[in-house]
A and B are shown apart, each in its own frame.
Chain A
Amino acid sequence: MRIVEVILAPILALLIGMFFLGLARKIMARIHWRYGPPITQPVIDVIRLFSQKSVSHGNMFTLGVLFSLACSLVLILFLPMGKICPLSSSGGMLVILYVMLLAPFGIALSGGEAANPNASIGISRKLTLALGYEVPLLVILLAVMTHYKTLSIVNIVSMQQNTSWALTSLPLFLSGIAYILILPAILGIRPFEITQAAQEISSGPMVEYGGSFLALATIQHGLNLFIGIALFVNLFLGGAGNPPIFFLKMLVVFVLGLFINAALPRLRIEQAMRYLWRWPTLIAFIGMIIVLIIRR
């Protein structure tokens, strides 16, 4: 059973990630009053890219992309999707937190070897932005772990299943709000689409990728969307008892995120940092103090 889960979980995540990418293009097009590409377009693109020629700037350039995608695949195994969670007992939230930062780190190492000015700027922005949203995110996660007195994400989900969603419970309400405020930054969508910024820095870290590199990076992007939303659903929307409901919750969160993406322009990096270190951080800290008071 476990082996089936280990194989099934990444495949499901991959399919949903690609579906999200396609859906994003379709919905954005409709908001812009265009018809938009078919929903399978990203899959078609990935298959086409795999057959195309690519250039490499060295070993780290190649290994960084592979490492980044591999880490995203591993991370899927730690996240409960409904009842599916193959590696539930191997370190819990702290491992998830750490593995989450490996994917951008791999891309950064890979892009770094390309010696491209746009890639350099993109990586610098990505790491700065990550530090920006990690400050409130860590406070939020610590509040959740302190409230439920466990480091295991499976336990957090099951406790919410028994009582109520963390987002609607009193001590974690503010933490949930803060999480919603930083979710676009975690997913890298507008107004925080600073890293890729196609019009400014030609896709940033991805600028040197072509052919199979770009295909792998696209898959990684899809998985990234999946992970960011799945973590939120597990921590604040109570996870789910079975996979379909879990994916439904994820879909709702993603579509809401797309509306924000369509409505807001891109911030500059320092504006983004100022926003992230001000309101979400403040709210998250107040949330954590409430959790501590209730715990006492």
Chain B
Amino acid sequence: MSLELLLIVAFGGALLSYLFGKICPQIRDPFAVISSVALAVMMAFLYGKTMESPFYFGFLGLPLILRTNMLAWFFAMAISILGALSVIFSWDYVKDRERTDFYYLMLLLANASMLGIVFAGDFVSFFVFWEIMSWSTFLLISYNRGRALGAGMKYIIMSIVGSVSMLIGMLSLYAIYGTLHIATLSKLVPSASSGYLLFLFILFGIAFAIKNALMPLHTWLPDAYAESPTSFNGVLSGMLTRMGMYGFLLIIYVIVGAARALNLGPGIFKFNYILAWLGAITIVVSTFIALLQNDAKQLLGWSAIGQGGYMILGIAFGTSLGLAGGIFHTLNHAVYIVLLFMSVGAVQYRTGGQRDLDSLGGLIKRMPVSFIGALLGISGLIGIPLTNGFVSKWLIYKTLILEGHPFLAFAALIGTWGCILYCYKFVHHIFLGQLPEKYKMVARAPFSMQLPMIILSLVILLFGILPGIPLKVINTIGTSFGFQSLNVTTWGIASETGTLNTINIFAAVVAACVIVWLIFKAGPKAVPVAQEDTYAAGAAIPKDRYHYTVDFYNPLYRMISPYFKDFIGGFCIKLAGWTQNVCHGIRQMYTGYIGHYVMYIVLFLALLIFVQLKWSLW
């Protein structure tokens, strides 16, 4: 099966869905689902293949090339599966909205362009697909209009800055080496001077750090996540943001290579150290900001910024363990963040778009599948043992501790402990606590929403109990970068400095749960009571009057809120305000009177004459 065919199916599926929507709307949704599922199935057959073929020669004499290897396949598989699940989830979610044809076109286009990015064998096609992705994402983020327009504008401005920076890097590569073919460049670039490599890293790094929302270039993400349609959040948060990670892997380990890329730079200001510290700062700051959020999607957005920091920390040190941890965390994060957004989406769908944490509550009794999804999602996010997030975080912590960077390890660990607080807030405020009167009759999520949630929940457990399945693929990627192979078994990683064995933990937890359950069963059966039937130490609590979740961690909020604000986001907004004022001032020049324009010209000429007489520059 050729790669051209895959991309034709991906892009063709997007365009045909749009056409079907215009001609015969009933078959549009099934067609979108079938085409994206078919794409995922085709992708599975590509496992383990390595190939490369040019598909177009006409662009400035440069061949446009598609290629695949383990790294590309790994990302492509995740993109196509999560994309297919998001399309299934969208079925009911966008059914009654306007411009659904447009929605499906952009959603499938974003998926297809991501596949294009990972299969691109040269930088021209990489850039073209990168731009298709940015623009289709921009249109979807601003799909809801209103506040979403501002969020989309923020996203596309930052995205363009990144693209321009990447374009300059590509042009310099072309000017020096005369080719943009990635495989050729990876042979030529490693012999370049250190200064030039740093220049490349900074230019490409800006583009990829913006996409991966690494601080201080994260400001687009919280609003974009919060305002885009929740059914698209899966694609946006799962893999689209992590195209930045793919880019980092490409530039650091494929093109420049580990031997040159690590320890590049003077003294302690080495490129990968700076990257690691940025990752650590990202983790700590965004964790505490997430804690202060009261909007479910803003909270998840900030947490996604923080998790991006873990991935960067993992790959920055260039050890086999850390690299495996970083890549594995990219996959794991995609799985659980998509699940969490789907859970929020299901709640929004049934409660009329409500995502304010202080207004929800008690939905566990009405929407059990969404609750289980949210619970497993936050378990993965925290990294509770036997869920997927644990294994990748374990690998990252272990790298940091054994490499002798306890301060970075501290940042990573404290990020996790802060994460528990906002994760509990998330699941407690939505699903536990009091069920408000107005949500007493809320129905379960429709099947098209439950199915992806159930699949992703199972994946979280599968990768947590048998982490060897994805780790073997990741190990192949690591060895293709020239790293030592890890001793991966199906249920963990063995090494002299501390072994991970998930099957032992699994057996112990199952046994303990069974024993405790049996002891509990031996006692008298508990009587179920209504939620109002609680003990309040003699005080009478009026029904539906108080909401116990408001200001949940009040003492902590008061302590941290002066220090953990989005200062950079605030600065960007100020900068935008200033620019607007300056531009507004300049616009005053255009009065419409011809006499004023003549005056400008005369004044300008007078200035030129004055300058010439005074300094005689010309």
Q: Does B390 contact A (CB under 8 A)?
A: yes
Partner pick for A73 among B402, B424, B515, CB 8 A cutoff: B515
Smallest CB separation, A112 vs chain B (Å): 4
How many angstroms from the CA of A92 to the CA of B546 in the assembled complex?
45
Interface string of A87-106 (1 = CB under 8 A from B): 10111101101110110010
Q: Which residues 51-107 of A sit at the B interface, judged by CB distance below 8 A?
A: 51-60, 62, 66-67, 69-71, 73-74, 77, 87, 89-92, 94-95, 97-99, 101-102, 105
In the assembled complex, the CB of B548 is this many whole angstroms from the nearest CB of chain A, namely 4
Q: 8 Å CB contacts to B: which residues of A7-53?
A: 10, 50-53
Q: Once the chains bind, are A116 and B534 in contact (CB under 8 Å)?
A: yes
Is the pair B417, A115 in contact by a Cβ cutoff of 8 Å?
A: no
Residue contacts A-B, CB under 8 angstroms, 7 given = A66-B516, A87-B508, A94-B394, A112-B427, A135-B417, A151-B497, A202-B535
User: Is B595 interfacial (CB 8 A cutoff)?
Assistant: no
User: Which stretch of A157-165, A166-174, A183-191, A209-217 is in the interface?
Assistant: A209-217
In contact, B397 and A69 (Cβ under 8 angstroms): no
Q: Which of B383, B409, B528, B556 contacts A58 (CB 8 A)?
A: B528
Q: Quick check: is A229 within 8 A (CB to CB) of the other chain? A: no
Q: Across the interface, which residues of A come within 8 angstroms of B83, CB to CB? A: none
Which one, A67, A131, A150, A270, contacts B498 given CB within 8 A? Answer: A150
If the complex has contacts A56-B527, A99-B385, A116-B535, are A70 and B365 also in contact, measured as CB distance less than 8 A?
A: no
Is the Cβ of B509 less than 8 Å from the Cβ of A120? no
Known interface pairs A90-B504, A91-B500, A108-B424; A101-B417 also in contact (CB < 8 Å): yes
Interface membership of A117, Cβ < 8 A: yes
**Beyond known contacts A70-B516, A142-B413, A151-B401: 6 more, CB 8 A cutoff:** A60-B432, A91-B501, A116-B535, A128-B555, A150-B498, A269-B555
Q: Which residues of A contact B555 (CB under 8 A)?
A: 128, 268-270, 273
| Chain A hits for B536, CB < 8 A | 116-118
Q: Kindly identify which residue among A59, A74, A128 contacts B508, using a CB–CB cutoff of 8 Å.
A: A74
- Which 7 pairs, one residue from A and one from B, show the smallest C-beta to C-beta distance? A212-B523, A151-B498, A112-B432, A56-B526, A70-B512, A120-B548, A142-B406
| B586 in contact (CB, < 8 A) | no
Judge if B94 is at the interface, Cβ distance under 8 Å.
no
Determine whether the beta carbon of A77 is less than 8 Å from that of B508: yes
Nearest CB of B to A125, in Å: 8
- With CB as the reference atom, state the residue of chain A lying closest to B535: A207
Does A292 make an interface contact (CB < 8 A)? yes
CB contacts under 8 Å to A, within B534-559, are 534-537, 541, 546, 548-549, 552-556, 558-559
Residues of A within 8 A of B548 (CB): 115-117, 120-121
Residues of B within 8 A of A224 (CB): none
Instruction: Tell whether B189 is near chain A: CB-to-CB under 8 Å.
Output: no
Q: Are B417 and A131 in contact (CB under 8 A)?
A: yes
Q: Is the CB of B520 within 8 A of A212?
A: yes
A91: contacting residue among B394, B417, B535, B554, CB under 8 A: B394
User: B556 near A112 (CB under 8 angstroms)?
Assistant: no
| Interface residue A113 (Cβ < 8 Å from any Cβ of B) | yes
Given contact pairs A128-B555, A270-B555, A114 touches B534 in the complex (Cβ within 8 A): yes
Check A130 for interface membership: any CB of B closer than 8 A: yes
Within the assembled complex, what's the spacing in Å between the Cα atoms of A291 and B505?
32
Docked Cα-Cα span, A267 to B361, in Å, equals: 31
For residue B504, which residue of chain A has the nearest CB? A90
- Residues of B contacting A291 in the complex (Cβ-Cβ under 8 angstroms): 406
Contact across chains for B417 and A92 when beta carbons are under 8 A apart: no
Inter-chain contact B404/A295, CB cutoff 8 Å = yes
Shortest CB distance A128–B (Å): 5
- CB <8 Å contact, B432 and A109: yes
B interface residues with partner A (beta carbon < 8 Å)? 361-362, 364-365, 371, 375, 383-385, 390, 394, 397-398, 401-402, 404, 406-407, 409-410, 413-414, 417-418, 420-421, 424, 427-428, 432-435, 492, 497-502, 504-505, 508-509, 512-513, 515-517, 519-520, 522-524, 526-529, 531, 533-537, 541, 546, 548-549, 552-556, 558-559
User: Would B414 and A134 count as touching, CB distance under 8 A?
Assistant: yes
A151 contacts B398, CB within 8 Å? yes
Please tell me if the beta carbons of B404 and A146 are within 8 angstroms of each other in the complex: yes
**Cα–Cα, bound, A120→B548 (Å):** 7
Q: B365 → chain A, closest Cβ, in Å?
A: 6
Q: What is the distance, in angstroms, from B432's C-beta to the closest C-beta of chain A?
A: 4
Residues on A with C-beta less than 8 A from B553 are: 124, 127-128
Which of A10, A66, A105 is close to B520, meaning CB atoms less than 8 Å apart?
A: A66
User: From B368, which residue of chain A is reached at the shortest CB distance?
Assistant: A59
B512 touches A71 (CB 8 A): yes
Q: Which chain A residues (244-275) contact chain B, with CB distance < 8 Å?
A: 268-270, 273-274
A234 at the interface (CB under 8 A from B): no
Chain A positions within 8 Å of B420 at CB level: 101, 105, 127, 130-131
- Taken together as a complex, chains A and B put the C-alpha atoms of A60 and B424 apart, in Å, by 14
Q: Assess A128 versus B383: contact at CB under 8 Å? Given A56-B526, A114-B534, A211-B523.
A: no
